[in-house]
């Protein structure tokens, strides 16, 4: 699903639609949803009327017509830029939705009735609990559960992964997604979603923004912005009589300009774009979020509960160490271990060869050419090779190899049992290696921790997120894996109810908890968690209980999803800080310019040394307008995220976006003033 085009910030099509939508969104009914920008639109209407009828409010006259027109045009551009920011964010989501809709072709469904008869109908006519038969090459018409058959399913249309996934009735891999294709064989599926309510439908709806609701943090911030707007409106209203008392006549257009410059228009124009872009980033990561609240909750997560197998470890036991016994030489143990595994295509066999070659890179495979491979069976519980010279090499379970050696007339090394016990206590699998009748040692197989997880857990620790590993292993094995992975805690011999108990315990301390799962037994815990990420390959129960679904079925993705949530919150906070800090510089630009003609002492505050009152106001307005599109890339892509503690993050953002928000307008307004002051002088302003 990801391609080069989707990675571009803005394409030609998105630009075209965004410009059109920026004008459409000027409708007052729509603008009222954003109170801050609605105030700007009211200001635009007032200044437009003043430009047409200069004396409409009983002040000004013809000499202010051009000034009123300039202010009106700048306010209009400010509105367009704010709408353009939101339209760009929506456009990126709609472009992605368009590619998803390609999978929703007008497919046909082969419905199977109770009497065994079949009928071809449109997929849109399917109802929940209908039974359909899907054959090789056909598209699965809607979400469902496999009740019969086994087949490989191509999910590339949704996940972008080309490798087919095997689906079969029962277990945790019976769930199928509408829009995917049966690559081979056939499946009988019970439909679990009504038309328009599938996961793909939900995904399209979310990326289009059609079902996006404001999150609690967004509502709280919007309330703050409205409060600040009301406060500044009161300040502006009281400024007029104060100015009259001082002998200063402030034109209505100037009061409007002052209002627009002092209220938080920057973040007001970008707030919706930030929320939409946050949803877009999660969706581009192949995760369906059931609500914006779920994405935002990711940013506030304090505790992460993770399964061991498949999440922290591969689940396949891989070779970790060669342990000699008796008088055996390690070189011989490694050599014969490699030889016995050359034709072993299991993950364990391949790992033995890989590990052995690390120790003996000069191993000569030619010496063992033509050997007869003996496959592992449940009866023999061992595998190996028979060489042409009569040498017999076997590796397998302790009991099986011990009996084999004794039957061949060999002896059992005294330390073999202790070495096997040591490996078993660590939660590993001991494979005993025997050449002819001599036992050389033990291969330690263990469930290997996925590479890079130690660093990622350390990164989560830096931002204050605690990680807890759940496993059915005994406490000793759990402790070993937990230490190796670098998690903060673990629950050994964990049952489904233990996960729920662990989540409730953390929540009782006021913490937000995230977890992943794919089975029906994970559903209660996924529902209990604040952020529940279900695997798309998992059961319908798990997906319905969770508030996010990973289409790639990668349990470790919860780590990245949490960072995306953090980035969303940081972006919103950083741009809010920048916006409010901007107002300080605008204050120093406009207020001294208005009063310094009658109150000379106010010149001290004109630290930017702006040319005239009109140029100061127009420069501040222009800067207020152009800073919105300048910040669109940050709002849509997000502030660059680096794992760190909350206090460090606050200091960093205050330094970059707080101090930067104060300094940037001083520089920007001064440069704009130097450019427009001569132009305003030419037209008599």
The rounded distance, in Å, linking the Cα atoms of 341 and 161 is 31
Please give the Cα distance from 193 to 203 (Å, whole number): 14
Question: What distances in angstroms separate CA 568 from CA 109, 275, 325, 593, one per listed residue?
Answer: 41, 7, 56, 38
Residue 488 burial by Cβ neighbours in a 10 Å radius (0-12, 13-18, 19+): middle
How many contiguous H segments (helices) and E segments (strands) does the chain have?
A: 24, 22
Task: Determine what percent of the chain falls in helix, strand and coil, rounding each to the nearest 5.
Answer: 55, 15, 30
Strand order across the beta sheet in which 186-191 lies: 118-122, 108-112, 131-135, 186-191, 144-148, 175-176
Distance, in Å, from the CA atom of 466 to the CA atom of 505, rounded to the nearest integer, reads 13
Q: Own/partner pairs for 473-481, CB < 8 Å, 24+ apart?
A: 473/308, 473/427, 474/427, 476/425, 476/426, 476/427, 477/425, 477/426, 477/427, 478/308, 478/427, 480/426, 480/427, 481/308, 481/312, 481/313, 481/427, 481/447, 481/449
Q: What does the DSSP 8-state code read for residue 406?
A: H
Burial of 102 (0-12, 13-18, 19+ CB in 10 A): exposed
Q: Which of the residues 307, 522, 552, 554 is marked catalytic?
A: 307
Nearest one of 418, 413, 425, 399 to 333, comparing CA atoms: 413
Alpha helices by DSSP H, listed for 300-383, are 330-341, 347-359
Orientation of helix 398-407 relative to helix 416-425, angle to 10°: 170
Residue 206 buriedness (CB in 10 A; 0-12 / 13-18 / 19+): buried
Which residues lie closer than 8 Å to 480 by C-beta, 6 or more apart?
426, 427
CA 122 – CA 169 distance, rounded (Å):
25
Whole-angstrom distance, CA of residue 339 vs CA of residue 423: 22
Give me the residues paired with residue 395 across strands: 383, 433
Tokens of 318: 């891989």
The one-character DSSP state at 514 is: E
Q: What six digits make up the tokens of 470?
A: 């759940």
Question: Is position 307 annotated as part of the catalytic site?
Answer: yes
Helix (H) or strand (E) holding 475: helix 475-485
Q: What is the DSSP string of 423-439?
A: HHHTT-EEEEEEETTEE
- What is the C-alpha separation between 480 and 472, in angstroms, rounded? 13
Tally Cβ neighbours within 10 Å of residue 416. 21
The residue among 96, 122, 103 whose CA lies nearest residue 111 is 122
Handedness of CA 376, 377, 378, 381 (dihedral sign): negative
Residue with tokens 């310094």, as numbered in its chain: 596
Which residues participate in catalysis according to the annotation?
307
């Amino acid at each position: 699903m990801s391609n080069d085009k989707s990675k571009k910030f803005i394409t030609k099509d998105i630009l075209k639609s965004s410009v059109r939508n920026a004008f459409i969104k000027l409708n007052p009914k729509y603008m009222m949803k954003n109170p801050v920008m609605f105030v700007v639109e009211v200001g635009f209407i007032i200044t437009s009327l003043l430009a047409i009828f200069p004396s409409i409010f009983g002040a000004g006259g013809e000499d202010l017509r051009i000034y009123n027109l300039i202010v009106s045009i700048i306010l209009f551009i400010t509105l367009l830029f704010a709408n353009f920011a939101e339209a760009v964010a929506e456009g990126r989501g709609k472009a992605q939705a368009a590619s998803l809709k390609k999978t929703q072709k007008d497919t046909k469904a082969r419905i199977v009735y109770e009497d065994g008869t079949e009928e071809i109908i449109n997929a849109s006519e399917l109802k929940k609990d209908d039974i359909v038969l899907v054959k090789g090459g056909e598209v699965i018409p809607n979400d469902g559960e496999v009740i019969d058959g086994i087949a490989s399913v191509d999910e590339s249309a949704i996940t972008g992964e080309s490798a087919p996934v095997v689906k079969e009735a029962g277990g945790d891999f019976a769930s199928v997604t509408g829009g995917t294709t049966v690559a081979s064989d056939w499946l009988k599926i019970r439909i679990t979603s009504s038309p328009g309510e599938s996961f793909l439908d939900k995904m399209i709806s979310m990326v289009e923004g059609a079902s996006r609701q404001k999150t609690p943090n967004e509502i709280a911030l919007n309330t703050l912005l409205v409060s600040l707007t009301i406060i500044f409106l009161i300040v502006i209203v009281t400024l007029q009589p104060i100015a009259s008392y001082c002998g200063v006549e402030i034109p209505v257009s100037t009061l409007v300009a002052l209002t627009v410059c002092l209220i938080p228009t920057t973040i007001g124009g970008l707030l919706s774009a930030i929320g939409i872009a946050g949803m877009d980033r999660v969706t581009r990561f192949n995760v369906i979020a059931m609500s914006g609240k779920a994405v935002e909750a990711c940013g506030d997560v304090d505790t992460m509960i993770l399964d061991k197998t498949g999440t922290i470890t591969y689940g396949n036991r891989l070779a970790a160490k060669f342990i000699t016994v008796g008088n055996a030489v390690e070189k011989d143990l490694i050599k014969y271990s490699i030889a016995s595994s050359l034709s072993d295509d299991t993950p364990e066999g391949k790992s033995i060869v890989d590990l052995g070659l690390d120790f003996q890179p000069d191993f000569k495979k030619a010496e063992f050419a033509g050997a007869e491979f003996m496959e592992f069976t449940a009866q023999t519980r061992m595998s190996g090779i028979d060489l042409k010279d009569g040498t017999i090499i076997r590796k397998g379970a302790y009991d099986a190899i011990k009996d084999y050696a004794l039957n061949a007339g060999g002896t059992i090394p005294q330390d073999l049992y202790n070495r096997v016990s040591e490996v078993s206590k660590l939660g590993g699998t001991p494979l005993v290696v025997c050449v002819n009748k001599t036992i050389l040692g033990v291969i330690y197989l263990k469930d290997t921790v996925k590479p890079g997880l130690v660093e990622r857990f350390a990164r989560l620790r830096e931002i204050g997120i605690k990680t807890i590993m759940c496993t059915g292993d005994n406490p000793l094995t759990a402790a070993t894996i937990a230490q190796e992975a670098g998690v903060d805690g673990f629950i050994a011999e964990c049952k489904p109810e233990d996960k729920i108990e662990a989540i409730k315990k953390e929540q009782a301390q006021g913490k937000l908890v995230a977890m992943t799962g794919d089975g029906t037994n994970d559903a209660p815990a996924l529902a209990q968690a604040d952020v529940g990420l279900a695997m798309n390959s998992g059961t319908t129960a798990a997906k319905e209980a969770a508030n996010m679904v990973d289409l790639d079925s990668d349990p470790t993705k919860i780590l990245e999803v949490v960072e995306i949530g953090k980035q969303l919150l940081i972006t919103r906070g950083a741009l809010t800080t920048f916006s409010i800090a901007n107002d300080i510089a605008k204050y120093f630009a406009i207020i001294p310019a208005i009063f310094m003609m009658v109150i000379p002492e106010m010149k001290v505050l004109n630290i930017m040394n702006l040319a005239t009152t009109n140029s100061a106001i127009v420069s501040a307005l222009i800067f207020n307008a152009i800073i919105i599109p300048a910040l669109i890339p940050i709002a849509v892509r997000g502030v660059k995220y680096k794992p760190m503690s909350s206090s460090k993050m606050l200091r960093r953002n205050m330094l970059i976006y707080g101090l930067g928000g104060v300094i940037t307008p001083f520089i920007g307004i001064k440069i704009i003033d130097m450019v427009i002051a001569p132009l305003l002088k030419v037209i008599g302003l």
